[in-house]
Structure 1
Amino acid sequence: MLLHSVNLWNLAFYVFMVFMATLGLWDVFFGFEENKCSMSYMFEYPEYQKIELPKKLAKRYPAYELYLYGEGSYAEEHKILPLTGIPVLFLPGNAGSYKQVRSIGSIALRKAEDIDFKYHFDFFSVNFNEELVALYGGSLQKQTKFVHECIKTILKLYKGQEFAPKSVAIIGHSMGGLVARALLTLTNFKHDLINLLITQATPHVAPVMPLDRFITDFYMTVNNYWILNARQINLTTLSVAGGFRDYQVRSGLTFLPKLSHHTSALSVVSSAVPKTWVSTDHLSIVWCKQLQLTTVRAFFDLIDADTKQITQNSKKKLAVLTHHFIRHPSKHFEEKPAIISDLTGTSMWVPVKVSKWTYVAYNESEKIYFTFPLENHRKIYTHVYCQSTMLDTNSWIFGCINSTSMCQQGVDLSWKAELLPTIKSLTLRLQDYPFLSHLVVYVPSVHGTKFVVDCEFFKREARSLQLPVTHLFSFGLSSRKVVINTSGLYYNIELLNFGQIYQAFKINVVSKCSAVKEEITSIYKLHIPWSYEDSLTIAQVPSSTEISVKLHIAQPENDSHVALLKMYTSSDCKYEVTVKTSFSQILGQVVA
């Protein structure tokens, strides 16, 4: 009888564990946001021109090939070598196709057409015969050596040209990104053959499935080399992760390992990339239109006007990637932006003395400068916040020095703004700008365009609220909440005690609005200060909006920052923010 009872308990335990694992797997495979990527299309028929390799090379690697991507007349023109553009090499990943280059290749071609081919990129792609290198790592070293030979072959195609390249940029998808990093470990490889490396959904830290010693040894060789030689590696590297939609490669694996002192390396999740703001699955990351547009814009900003190739200036490369992939100020990239702007000319100057101000611009016949004197506001408030729904790239906010009612020149503060899906915003701490006498908001003359500009001064403590997250084992039965009753435009909700991978929560934001005559948009941004993995939720208010809150990277031990829910709100609405533990998502985090 006792033995029978023990067996029943064992059975119940195993059934419970299987149920928990099933619940976690369901969350991993189905508990993510819908695919919000737009499909990228070709405007002409895509063609892949096979590049003839030296006979010895073709004999040594009979299964591998090199192709040049083209469309229509561009493809026809480039069948006659040599080439004249900027070389970019695409490396597919596990079971990947060389044809995956077509999305970014086509978008780059359209961009080149827009500027009358002043600059253009030649996109090459390697055919690895769709090898399953994530399951069997025996081919990884061979692929690496073949890519080395491909780079040398590509550069020979430009021989004799006035602006012949001396290096290539590489885009590596999944395991292709690891192969690109492995190039530096080859004894006869010259590091200056690569000027830029962008990896997409590449598991840099460790293999997803360490099934054989070839994979583990390959990872150990690559990562040890990059860690031990980090100070000597001058290769600007960007790793882009897909976020929670990519259940094949967890985003935590894509962050370049232990390279905090390697100043030329960036790691970011696609949901945090400006103008992208979406999570991608493992395959859609190569065709997601929003992300590929961002990548192509960055490529064109990386061009050196003198050499007509990608710049060799490491600081500029990092600045361009930061501009497009980390924080976009809603301005076109400038290597040396003009900080002082001329504010003279025919215009109206309108003083504003209130602490909260809104202006609706529509069919303005002349440009207007609204000036906010800062002397009295500094005595009462700590910060100023401004936002505009005009999403152009012109400067819109300035600071004046020793001005009375108008100023001849102003400090262009637009470079410190941040672009969001529906607004561009700027928050300034007043004590950081003691030399400014006025804040100036510029409203251009517009015809047929309606936009809204808002500014408000506030005390930091009035806009920062603390919300301790619920306990891990509360199972979603209890919750905590904060209520926002004031009519501000911007709030920070500090999510206390949140910093571990195994934590997961659901936040519900309920907005109640009064006298709303037209559609109002609020933005809720989950900001993780210790890694670039922010995510945005756009809500039409009044509404009830649910936000998943979980991490890709745990908070480092010596990091004292707090995760934030940044709320860009409407002054006509009140907000109630509730947090509770999501047990199914916790299981998903553990299983993944």
Structure 2
Amino acid sequence: MKLGEEMLNHFFVVAIAISAVGFLYGVYNINLEVESNACQMTYMFAPPQFSRVHSTDDVKFPDYGLYYYNEGRIPIDVGKKKLNGAPVIFIPGNGGSYKQVRSLASVALRKAREVESGVHLDYYTIDFSEELSALYGHYLERQTLYLKNCIETILKLYANDKKIALIGHSMGAVISQAILRDPEISKHVNTLISLSSPINKPILILDEKIEMFYKSINKSLSRTRSSFKPDENFNVCSSSRTRFLLGNYTNYYKSYLKNVMIISIGGGNRDLLVQPGYTFSKFSDIHSMTMSIPKVWISCDHLSAVWCLQLVLVINRYLFEISKIDKNKIVYFINDRAIREKIAHNYFVKPNILAPKEINVEQQAMWREDKRRVFSKGFKEGVKNNFIQMIPLRKHLTHQKLCIDINRLDLSDFIFGCSVKHNVDENLHCKTKVSLSHNFYTLPWINNEIRTVAILDIKNLRNTFPNWTHIGIFLRASRKPKSFNIDIHNPTERQVYFKLPHWSTLQKTTLVKETSQGTVYYKLLIQGLEETYSTMELKFEPLSCLGDSNPVVIKMCTPWLPGFTKYHIIRDPSAEVFYVNIPVASPRGYNLTKNPISLEVYLDPACRYHISYKFSIEGTMSRIVHHFYQWLPSHLTAVILIILKNKISKLHHESSTKGIRPFHGYFQFSSIYLITGCRIFSKLVIKNENHDDLRGLSIYLVAIIHSTAIVISIVTVFAVWILIIFNAYGFSKVINWCLFRSVLLPVAGTFPLLFGAFIISLALKTCGELALVVTCILYLLLISNAYSDYVENWILNTAVTLHTKLRSFYYNQSFKETAETSKNVNSISCNGMNNFSFHISLFILLLIITALNSMSGVAWIKDHSIVMRGGDPSLFPSLIVILSLSVLWLLKAPQKIPSFQFGYKAVSILLYISASGCIILCQEALYKLNYIISATFVIIVLQEILGRGWTTYNKIKNM
């Protein structure tokens, strides 16, 4: 039995160590999928000018400001300027500056000078004093009220009724969405564009107001606007509809929000602050990632989203496209929602590639027919005369797909289907042509070389148009070099199904041994990829190439996520790999077998490739760190509570020496059992969808997070121990001696009460966070002072032991000195402040609650008034913790009370329940840890008071 327990212990130790090392490995590889920044800078040709726009409500918001953007050296008075442009408001995000509007507004000014129609935009920007609104919830409603005031102020600057476009970056988009709750304000909103915003849910929920703010938006928009929710068979990858958000619009057009267009844009892999899944709103009309937006094709980090020239150009082109000018030269945003949605789809999803109206060009064109299944043609010197390539349909009756890959496609080029008849000279010609150019979509390419691809279903075309004999490619005469590739194939030849490999499978698996020369297109379908952190890597290794190897382009589609199409360029296939993962986990009950992840691969037809795949450990661990790092505080708190529970349950019969070791009880794995219990409880009892993360995710993931928390607790206690030793026996010993001997010891009997009164008054006059910081410092000094005798004896004991071992090695003497010296350490009682393991556990809990409420302190430092007006979420927890600590120090806790065993057991059960609550309730909502930690301090205080009362009761009873 002992051997089995020992083996189990060793297994848990090894598993915890491996998990923690894996988490650190993920931290090391956090930038694994982050490509280099390809954004072009936006430059201004004149000095930027921000003109203040005043309103009657400026007194209510002294720290905020509304500005009108212009360029030049002459200041303007907005109140006297005649404004007739379409108004656009830029709303900065968390810690953002109002000056971030420069790139968007400057490009709009330059574009307005180039437009002959006179259409122009009036850009406004809001100064929120760079408040950290993502971390401190009290700012959110205040910023929303000011945005409403800004909209009303701007509308008064125009003679006629105007609709406004809003561009929100980061939390600015959340603020913009919040004003849609007000019908009187939202009726003036034409379009809302969200840039790299956690518009779906908050990144960190550090206080209750953040959570309530998001819930308020969701509740209000759910009543007035349709929302997207995929069923088990929904598959956007195979959908033929042009709309990317497919919701139920039964009540949509009855809503006051029916004309508000919401466009959400995510930054992609480079944005490490806001994950792609957070940027998707179920209320959006259009959602796109920057690497899939036509003419952008790159990933933007969180800040570059506001100045990346490629993205800035697309946004302004859209705003100009939806703007019109009337006969009085007043510019306005068009009200027709269907037109705006079509334009948005063209700019942010898929551009409309239409055939020219004049397609009767056979007299001026050079006709060529090629019956080969796979071939390529290039025009290095350009197309001298109009050229038409004819591809016979009846020649390839056994094939179903036609892939047409054209480099540098012009707007006048197109593809068509027709019935060919031979003329007198036996040349090809066809009079009636039907354009098929709507099947074209553009792929990202390097150096602005446009690569356009069309995948045609030959079988379907034969059935729909039985008279057709050919597919034609028309290339207009041009001096630009052009080329095209034709690849006719069967889907069974190019569609490869495979499953996500198991994490233990580390070796590569061959997917395609060797592709054929001239192959352009492959479709890889991945089954079993349903969690956001699971990552696999694909390798496209060139075996041979006719010339230099060109990039491989991959189009990844997640079937249950509209707008998350991901394009990726592998510039050097021999050295690079493609990491496959998903931004949002699959919905519960979704049919992944029927609707797998789709990867459309566009190869260089001049090369032959070996395609392989394997499970990516580094990719998976980096995703775990990126997506679930916010779980660590709740798991760390749970670990400390379990250690404290184990300590209290054994307090009444523990030997006197163990409690004086500060790291006693931290080398444990019993808290891992908590994970299984919490998962079972969540599945059987909790039905709230907010806890799907715990019920649905793999237990391995939760075990990794929890094991890392165990290691962090050990590292933390050793760090605190070193800090205590430094304070007790280091350079600050003189300061500690002066403080405690000269000041505190004379009032030792009344110090806890005086301390509590002083710190509580400090919390009430300033903020709870400041009081918690002061409490941490004083608590550390108290433990350090109590620990000084043990440190001196421990150092002496260690020195004597080492000296004795050396003497026994050289002179073969006994260890009597060691035994004599050990009595000094063993003589120390572990009651009261000398029970260092107990107090260090409480000290770590104090550090956690202090860290969780740090933003209250930052807000107080920046603006005392906002915290004093009731925006201090740290006040209530700090008062409870400080008062509890004062009582514990007054009672010189902990004290061993052997007759109070049932009390220790009751406290152990309550602490175990509290630890479970940390994992079940607080992984996402971190602010709830405040209540659990505060309750823990209260429970321990009650246990100490009731224990002493129980002792007194027994004494009186036995008299």
- TM-score after normalising by structure 2: 0.56
How many angstroms apart in 2 are the aligned matches of 1:519 and 1:504?
27
Q: Which residue of 2 aligns with 1:411?
A: 434
Q: Give runs of aligned pairs for residues 455-466 of structure 1, distance below 5 A.
A: 455-466=486-497
Within the alignment, does 1:385 sit opposite 2:403 as a pair? yes
Separation in 2, partners of 1:373, 1:31: 43
* Cα distance in 1, alignment partners of residues 323 and 79 from structure 2: 24
2:392 to 373, 378, 382: 373
1:196: how far off? Answer: 0.4
Q: Which residue of 2 aligns with 1:25?
A: 27
In the alignment, the residues of structure 2 paired with residue 541 and residue 28 of structure 1 have an alpha-carbon distance, to the nearest angstrom, of 22
Of residues 304, 311, 314, the one that matches 1:294 is: 314
Superposed counterparts of 1:109-508, under 5 Å:
109-116=109-116, 118-159=118-159, 164=160, 166-186=162-182, 189-230=184-225, 231=252, 232=255, 233-234=257-258, 235-257=260-282, 259=283, 265-304=285-324, 308-329=331-352, 331=353, 341-344=358-361, 346-354=363-371, 355-361=373-379, 362-377=381-396, 379-400=397-418, 405-422=428-445, 423-433=451-461, 434-435=464-465, 436-447=468-479, 449-474=480-505, 476-487=506-517, 488-508=519-539
Structure 2 distance, partners of 1:410, 1:119, is 38
The CA distance in 1 between the partners of 2:292 and 2:264, in whole Å, is 13
Give the helix-richer structure, 1 or 2: 2
| Residues 44-80 of structure 1 deviation map (CA, whole Å, 9 limit, x = unaligned) | 22111111222xx111111111111122389769785
Instruction: Give the Cα–Cα distance (whole angstroms) in 1 for the partners of residues 11 and 141 of structure 2.
Output: 50
- Deviation for aligned residue 1:376: 3.7
Q: Secondary structure at the match of 2:472?
A: strand
Which amino acid counterpart does residue 169 of structure 2 have in structure 1?
Answer: H
Quick check: 1:512–1:543 contact (8 Å CA) kept in 2?
A: no
**Aligned residue in 2 for 1:588:** 622
| Equivalent-residue separation in structure 1 for 2:545 and 2:143 (angstroms) | 63
CA contact (8 A) 1:37 1:278 kept: yes
Contact 1:399 1:438 in 2 (8 A): yes
Per-residue deviation, 1:110: 2.2
Q: CA deviation at 1:9?
A: 7.6
Stretches of structure 1 lacking an aligned partner (at least 5 in a row): 332-336
Alpha-carbon contact 1:92-1:128 (below 8 Å) kept: yes
CA separation of 1:497 and 1:76: change in aligned 2, threshold 3 A:
same
Listed as ranges, the gaps of 5+ residues in structure 2 are 226-251, 423-427, 446-450, 628-959
Tell me if the contact between 1:204 and 1:254 (Cα under 8 Å) persists in the aligned partners: yes
Aligned counterparts of 2:401 and 2:75: Cα–Cα separation in 1: 55
**In structure 2, do the counterparts of structure 1 residues 75 and 324 end up closer, same or farther at CA, with 3 Å as the change threshold?**
farther
Contact 1:351–1:370, Cα closer than 8 Å, also in 2: yes
Contact 1:349 1:406 in 2 (8 A): no
1:368 CA displacement: 2.0
- Deviation string 1:505-558 (CA, Å, 9 cap, x unpaired) is 121110122432x55343233333332333333345773431111110223333
Matched residues in 2 for 1:77 and 1:371: separation? 64
Larger displacement relative to structure 2 (401-410 or 91-100): 401-410
Specify the code of the residue in structure 1 equivalent to 2:338. Answer: K
Which residue does the alignment assign to 1:575? 609
Residue 497 of structure 1 deviates from its aligned partner by 2.3
Alignment partner, residue 525 of structure 1: 555
Q: Deviations over 1:423-473 (max 9, x none)?
A: 1111111233322443221121123x2110222322221222233331133
Q: Deviations over 1:559-581 (max 9, x none)?
A: 53222222212333111111111
Match of 1:562 among 592, 596, 617: 596
CA–CA separation in structure 2 for the residues paired with 1:86 and 1:432: 46
Larger radius of gyration: 2
CA distance in 2, matches of 1:411, 1:304: 33
Q: Does 1:104 align with 2:127?
A: no
- 32-41 or 245-254: which moved more? 32-41
Question: Displacement of 1:182 after TM fit?
Answer: 0.6
Deviation string for 1:467-505 (max 9, x for gaps)?
Answer: 33311333x345343224323221112223223213111
Q: Give the whole-Å Cα distance in 1 for the aligned partners of 2:481 and 2:358.
A: 25
Partner of 1:334: none
Q: Cα deviation per residue 1:312-365 (whole Å; 9 max; x = unaligned)?
A: 121222222222222235x4xxxxx67865323751241414133432223433
Q: Residue 586 of structure 2: SS of its match in structure 1?
A: coil
- Whether the aligned pair in 2 keeps the contact of 1:510 and 1:577 (CA below 8 Å) is yes
Give yes or no for contact 2:402–2:456 (8 Å, CA) kept in 1: yes
Q: CA deviation at 1:183?
A: 0.4
The residue aligned with 1:95 is: 95
Q: 1:287 to 1:510 in 2, by over 3 A?
A: same
Cα deviation code 1:388-447 (max 9, x no counterpart): 111433332222367663234533322321111231111111233322443221121123
8 Å contact 2:51–2:77 — kept in the other structure?
no
- CA spacing shift, 1:17–1:178, aligned 2, 3 Å: same
The answer on whether the counterparts of 2:383 and 2:482 sit within 8 Å (CA) in structure 1 is no
> 2 CA distance for matches of 1:110 and 1:266?
27
- Separation in structure 1 between the aligned mates of residue 515 and residue 497 of structure 2, nearest angstrom: 15
Report the equivalent of 2:82: 82
Contact 1:340 1:410 in 2 (8 A): no
Letter of the aligned partner of 1:344 in structure 2? V
CA-CA distance at 1:190 after TM superposition: 3.8
- Measured in 2, the distance between the counterparts of 1:64 and 1:133 equals 14
User: Which one-letter code corresponds to 1:318 in the other structure?
Assistant: E
Q: Cα–Cα, structure 1 residues 343 and 270, in superposed 2: closer, same or farther, change >3 Å?
A: same
What secondary structure, in the 3-state scheme, does the structure 2 residue paired with 1:217 have?
A: helix
Contact 1:522/1:570 (<8 A) preserved:
yes
Q: Distance in 2 between matches of 1:540 and 1:280?
A: 18
Please state whether the residue corresponding to 1:553 is helix, strand or coil: coil
Mapping for residues 9-48 of structure 1, pairs under 5 Å? 15-28=17-30, 31-48=33-50
Equivalent residues of 2:366, 2:386 under 8 A apart: no
Q: What does 1:42-81 align with in structure 2 at a 5 Å threshold?
A: 42-54=44-56, 57-72=57-72, 80-81=80-81
TM-score, length basis structure 1: 0.88
Shift of 1:284: 1.3
The alpha-carbon deviation at position 275 of structure 1 amounts to 1.8
What one-letter code is carried by the residue in structure 1 that aligns with 2:219? N
Distance (whole Å) between structure 2 residues aligned to residue 571 and residue 244 of structure 1:
28
